[in-house]
Amino acid sequence: MRSFEEIYEISAARHGGAEALETKLIRPDPDVTNLPEDRWLSLMTKCIFQAGFSWKVIEAKWPGFEAAFDQFALGPNAFMDDEKFDALLRNTEIVRNGAKIQTVRDNAGFLLDLRSEGGAAEVFGSWPDSDFIGLLEMMKKRGSRLGGNTGQMVMRFAGRDGFVLSKDVTGRLIAERVIDKPATSKTALKSVQAAFNDWQQQSERSLMEISRVLAMSCG
């Protein structure tokens, strides 16, 4: 496995030098622990609806989603009755996918449950970076349709430090023999986390920056 510095040099060479590369990196939001619960539910819902669908369509319809789901307030969504659910299935201002609409109700309940643990922002924001895969696993188990890249993208859009196992990041991880195919098993994800932890220790950079450097070394 190459050092982070070596991979950084590959990325810099592909993107016009170190100075140009730095302008393309993304960094965590220090205010992520202050993100309100309704915004967490909004982000979860947007990422779920974008999965396997046109992101542009979801983005264009998003004001309609916000209105239809009561600005993603937890109470009205967690306790959504069948009448409201059926009305949403007829609402042309949103994408009328019943299974995905159900996730709003389920994930509102998930976020309500986190209140007993300090609240969503505290749980998500303070989870150790060195166990990011543990956070993703928790979201997969306790949330609805938050596994795979969806959970990773929720954290990315929230500004929470972490990595996204995109095609290019996966390509670099395979090139470095961290994994031999896209990471889906617990064993493979542990290997990915260990590699990111090593690169973070070497570079003192965020997981988000490292993830971006890996992606840009291939793409």
The CATH number linked to 127 is 1.10.340.30
What pTM was estimated for this model as a whole?
A: 0.94
Query: Average model confidence (pLDDT) for the chain?
Result: 97
Do 55 and 113 fall within a single domain?
Answer: yes
Residues 196 and 112 in one domain: no
Please say if the pLDDT value at position 219 is more than 90: no
Do residues 66 and 129 share a domain?
yes
Same domain for 119 and 85? yes
**11 and 85 share a domain?**
no
Final residue in a domain of this structure, among 137, 158, 179:
158
User: Could you report the per-residue pLDDT of 194-214, keeping only the tens digit for each?
Assistant: 999 999 999 999 999 999 999
Which pLDDT score is estimated for 161?
97
In sequence order, the 6+-apart residues with CB closer than 8 A to the CB of 125 are 32, 33, 35, 160
In percent, how much of the chain has pLDDT > 70? 100
Task: Kindly tell me the sign of the dihedral angle through the C-alpha atoms of 112, 117, 118, 121.
Answer: negative
The arithmetic mean of pLDDT across residues 213-218, rounded, is 97
Last residue of a domain, one of 112, 128, 158: 158
Q: What is the pLDDT of residue 81?
A: 96
pLDDT the model gives residue 67: 98
Q: Which of 124, 99, 131 lies closest to 43, judged by CA? A: 124
8-58 per-position pLDDT tens digit: 999 999 999 999 999 999 999 999 999 999 999 999 999 999 999 999 999
Please name the residues in contact with 59: beta carbons below 8 A apart, sequence gap of 6 or more: none
Residue ranges making up the domain that contains 170: 4-28+163-216
Residues 16 and 43 in one domain: no
Q: What is the pLDDT of residues 96-131, one digit of tens each?
A: 999 999 999 999 999 999 999 999 999 999 999 999
Q: What mean pLDDT do residues 181-203 have?
A: 97
39 and 15 housed in the same domain: no
Q: Does one domain contain both 170 and 101? A: no
Q: How many structural domains does the chain have?
A: 2
Residues for the chain: how many in total? 219
* Same structural domain, 90 and 173: no
| Token couple for 107 | 């994930």
* One domain, residues 144 and 170: no
What burial letters (b/e) apply to 68-90, b meaning 16+ CB within 10 Å?
Answer: bbbebebeebbebeeebeeebee
**Residue 144 structure tokens:** 């609805």
**Amino acid sitting at position 217:** S
Average pLDDT over residues 144-170: 97
Query: What is the rounded CA–CA span in Å between residue 211 and residue 208?
Result: 5
Across the range 55-79, mean pLDDT stands at 97
Residues in CB range of 146: below 8 A, 6 or more apart: 44, 48, 107, 139, 140, 154
Give the residue among 135, 115, 133 at the shortest CA–CA distance from 125.
135
Kind plus residue range of the DSSP H or E element containing 19: helix 18-24
Query: Do 130 and 146 sit in the same domain of this protein?
Result: yes
Same domain, 150 and 186: no
